[in-house]
Amino acid sequence: TTAFLNNAYMPLEQASISPMDRGFLFGDGIYEVIPTHYGKPIGLQAHLSRMSDGLAELQIDNPYSAQQWQTLIDTLIQRNRSELGSDYIGVYLQITRGTVMSRQHAYPQDITPTVFGYGFTLAAPPATTPEQVTTLDVALLKDRRWERCHIKSTSLLGNVMHFEQGKAQGKQEAILLNAHDEVTEASSCNVFVVWQGDIYTPPLDYQLLPGITRKLVIESLAKEGIAVYEQVISKTMLLQAQEVWLTSSSKEITPVTHIDEQTIGEGQAGPVWEAALAAFNKHKFTL
């Protein structure tokens, strides 16, 4: 595995940073995961733009130009594709505020951000038919995270604890409900439902990550003349839905068949999911 750390490429085992990095001390940084298939990134510009937004929100100066990011990402894709022997490579990027000499909450001035990246083998994308796709059983949990979930922060303890809570119940993910019993997102995915024949996903705000797959799914469906309503999804709508899907860079669009004890729809991947994945696969490299 080839990694990138502070302007140099190296084998992942050789990459190391100081324990005084604010990423380690405070989780003071952001990250991105960019999926690539056969050397081609999916949603690259959207990933880079979300990264810029996150840096701006944290008041960390973007350390590289668009061209430098492009080169860095291309290099990680090419090297890791041959080293890992996979056509499905994820590029992980992380930027922290940098390494300090003393631990203080205040943002220190004049420090250099730490930039880290590496490539990893992505799970193969989901099968495209209801008969073949692997579906998910998920838990339904109270969202106990903070009010800045739109930032792709490396401070993921809230998400990790929710995922683990689902896993302890024998589930593969957890869908989260806010204090008003409205769906926010899952611990590492966005949520879509098909309800009374229409497709819904929660509107973007501080309660959820603006997922790039979510965006590409909405745009792919729009190109096929199918609307997605960005509207509040109540717990009732979720549990009465004909279909529920989770989206993320690694899962693309994956159907959910059980939520806690409840069976969703017919308990198998549905026709709207099949159409949505077909639309996504048709447009994902060109959006």
Binding site for ligand PMP (CB under 6 A): 33, 159, 185, 188-190, 209, 211-214, 247-249
- Which CB sits closer to ligand PMP, 201 or 257? 201
* Residue 85 CB neighbours (<10 A): 8
* Residue 41 CB neighbours (<10 A): 19
Shortest distance, position 176 Cβ to ligand PMP, whole Å: 9
Shortest distance, position 265 Cβ to ligand PMP, whole Å: 23
Shortest distance, position 268 Cβ to ligand PMP, whole Å: 24
Q: Return all residues near 91 (Cβ < 8 A) that are at least 6 apart.
A: 32, 33, 34, 36, 41, 73, 76, 77, 80, 117, 118, 119
Nearest to 223 by CA among 155, 276, 186: 276
- Which CB sits closer to ligand PMP, 33 or 72? 33
Cβ-contact 166, 173 below 8 angstroms = yes
- Which CB sits closer to ligand PMP, 79 or 162? 162
Shortest distance, position 187 Cβ to ligand PMP, whole Å: 6
- Which CB sits closer to ligand PMP, 98 or 173? 173
- Catalytic residue numbers, as ranges: 152
Strand (E) positions, the chain? 2-5, 8-11, 29-37, 40-41, 88-96, 114-121, 136-142, 173-177, 183-186, 190-195, 198-201, 228-230, 243-248, 252-259, 262-263
